[in-house]
Amino acid sequence: MTARISRTVVSLAAVLAAACTSYYEIPIETPIRAKLDVGAFQRVLVAGFLAGGSDDVDGNLETTRLLRSQLRTKSDLRVIDADVLPLIEVAGGERKAPTDATTPAPAGNPIKNDKDIDQYQHVFANTEYWKKIGEEYQQPLIVTGTVLFTSREQTQMQQREQEVFDTLGRRRTVAERRLVERKGFGLQGRFIFIDGRTGATLHSQNFTESILYDANRQTPALSSYFELMDKLIPNFLATLSSQKIKGTRILLN
């Protein structure tokens, strides 16, 4: 009896406490600080990328264009319009001097995988080169890096419910597992931020994203490329400018 009374009192107290608590939904903006202090720069040059992989997308041109347009609308830095640097040629020229002017250039993009990219990565460590580029454009923040956009295929186990009827006509569902082939694309690489005054690397960030579709779905490579870049852009922008995440919280009394 006593236990019953005390239980009732406790639950009444809980109800009263809940009734006394007022709540107010309020919008808030949570500020996220930029990872890189770009206070010393007023201008940004998205110079170009060491890009390769699929021949369907020009990773250098598309990435440069996309990042410039994003920075134009979502950062305070002034974006410099300039020709996109052919970094493969720049890095290739550093590696070996041209032997003969009549020797034809290799057809297509020589970068097919990450090992190929490694052969050209030394260009980012060439501070003299980047300093020279910086001088040419009034010492901006330089954005460059690597982009490897490749097609992918994967076989995955897929489970789905299937309806079956027994001899008495009763319906039941059974899980059916089967292997399905999926096709898509992967995007991996690195964004590199270089100080245009010194040519030194200030910050770099790696990225990897992939997307797979049903094998019978025909998705254009360029559309997949933009889909993947969409996932990377918020991180890229968060490096350069502080952002505010809008949300709501509940204030209590």
Partner 1 sequence: MRVRRVIGALLLAVFVSAPVLADERDDAKAQVQFGIRVAQLGLWREAVTHWERAVKLDPTYAPAYNNLAIGYEHQGDFEKARNAYEKALELSPNNAYIKQNYELFREINDRTNKQDGR
Which positions lie near partner 1, rule CB under 8 A? 21, 23-24, 26, 28-33, 35, 235, 238, 245, 247, 249-253
Burial classification of residue 92, based on how many CB atoms lie within 10 Å of its CB (0-12 exposed, 13-18 middle, 19 or more buried): middle
Residue 35 CB, nearest approach to partner 1 (Å): 6
Residue 234 CB, nearest approach to partner 1 (Å): 9
Query: Which is nearer to partner 1, 26 or 180 (by Cβ)?
Result: 26
Residue 236 CB, nearest approach to partner 1 (Å): 10
Q: Where are the beta strands (DSSP E) in 13-140?
A: 23-32, 43-53, 78-79
Query: Which is nearer to partner 1, 40 or 251 (by Cβ)?
Result: 251
Residue 140 CB, nearest approach to partner 1 (Å): 23
d(CA 139, CA 160): 58
Is the separation of the CB atoms in 191 and 146 below 8 Å? Answer: no
Cα 17 to chain centroid, rounded: 47
Query: Which is nearer to partner 1, 158 or 208 (by Cβ)?
Result: 208
Is the separation of the CB atoms in 219 and 210 below 8 Å? Answer: no
Query: Which is nearer to partner 1, 126 or 204 (by Cβ)?
Result: 204
